[in-house]
Amino acid sequence: MAGKESPLKRLRERVREAALNRPGVYRMTGSGGVVIYVGKSKRIRTRLLGYFRAKRGQKAWRSIREASTVEWEYVPSEFASLLRELELIKRLRPPYNVQRKRDALYSFLKLSAGPAPRLQVVRRVNDEPGTYFGPFRGGERIVEAVRELNDVLQLRDCRSGTPIHFADQAELFAVERSALCPRHELRRCLAPCAGGCTEHEYRERVARARGFLNGEGDEPVLELEKRMISAAERLQFELAASLRNRLQRLQLLRTEFLDLRATIDQLSFLYPVPGVEGDHRIYAIRNGYVRAVYPAPETATERRSLLAAAAEHYRQPEPPGEIPSRQRIDEMLVVAHWFRTRPEELERVYRPDAWSEIPLAEALDDLALA
C-alpha cells in the first residue's frame, strides 16, 4: 500500500508547492507517457488538490492514482481555458475524457460528396467529404423530416456504394437498368442508379435541398401544401391527412433550422475578455466559433489596426447552417454553452455597429480575474 501512496504523495506535494490559483488547463499522464485526462479550472491549485481528496471509486480518485505525472499551463482567463481544454482533448484523445454528454442531444444533416449526393441524419461530424448542417435537437423526428425532404425532392437514400448511372452518361453498350428500390415507382426518387435522370437534373434537386437548409427556399414545403390542397379538393381526405402529417414534419425541420440560424447569427461579435496580469484579449467570434484572438489594444491606433484585421473575418457572407469542420462544431457548442449559461457576458460583447467602442486594455484592468 505504501508503494502506491508514495508517488501520490509526491504528486500532491508538487501541486502544493508549485501550482497557483490561476485559470489554466492540466494534463494527467499515465504509464508510458500517455495523457489519460485533460481538465480545466479557473483556479488550478484548488482544482488539482481536490483530486487528492476524492472518495474511493470516483473518477477523480481513479484518474489521480493512475497518473504518473500532472502538468498544467496557465491561460489568461476561464474562457481561454475552455477553448484550450477543447483543443487538447481533440488532439490527445485522453481515455478518461468521455464523449461529452451534449453530443447525444444533437444530430446533424450531412449532404455527401460524389456524383449523386445523399442527404442523411448523422450523430457525429467527421472529416469525410461533404457538407454538414446543424446542430439540430431531436433524433427520430429529425430523421422523419429529412425523409420527407428526400421524398419531396426525390433524392436517393440508398447506401453510399450504390453504382450511379445518369441518363446522359456515355456508355459503350446500351444497358437497360431497373431502379434498385421501390421509391422510384412511388415518385420519391429520381433513380440515378438506373438512368432515371441526368446529372444536371439531380444536381438541381440537390441545390434545392441546400437552399432549403440554408433558409433560402420554401419549395419543398410549397410542393407538399399544393398536393395536400389538391387531395382535399378531390375529396381524398385520407391522402390529404397523410400529406398534412408529412408537411408538419417538414415544417418542423424548417422551424428547427430557423431557430438554429437565429442562435448562430447572435453569436457574431468581438468579445473583450479581461485576463490575469493584464493579459486581456479580444476574441473575434463569428457564427459561434473563434476566428481570431487579439491582445487588447493599448492605444487608439492599435484599436484601429485590430478592427481592420477583425473586419477580414466578417467580410464574406457565410451560410449560417453549414459546418466547415468537426473541430468547429465542437467549438461552436462550447461557445454557445458559455454564453447561454452566462447571459451577463453577452452584455459585454461588441457587434459591428459598436466596434469603435471596443475598450482599451486599461479599461479592462478593473475587470481582470484575481
Distance of CA 74 to the CA centre of its chain: 26
Least trusted range by pLDDT, from 11-15, 138-142, 218-222: 138-142
The whole model's pTM is what?
0.74
Predicted pLDDT at 175 = 66
Residue-wise pLDDT tens digits, 106-146: 788 889 988 899 999 988 777 778 888 877 776 788 888 89
Please determine, for residue 250, whether its predicted confidence score (pLDDT) is greater than 50.
Answer: yes
Contact present, 68 and 36 (Cβ < 8 Å): no
Residue-wise pLDDT tens digits, 22-63: 999 999 999 888 999 999 999 999 999 999 999 988 888 888
Query: Could you tell me the domains of the chain?
Result: 2-98 (3.40.1440.10), 103-263 (no CATH), 267-367 (no CATH)
Q: Give the pLDDT band of residue 368 (cuts 50, 70, 90).
A: low
pLDDT averaged over every residue in the chain: 86
Q: Give the pLDDT band of residue 215 (cuts 50, 70, 90).
A: confident
Least trusted range by pLDDT, from 171-180, 279-288, 360-369: 171-180
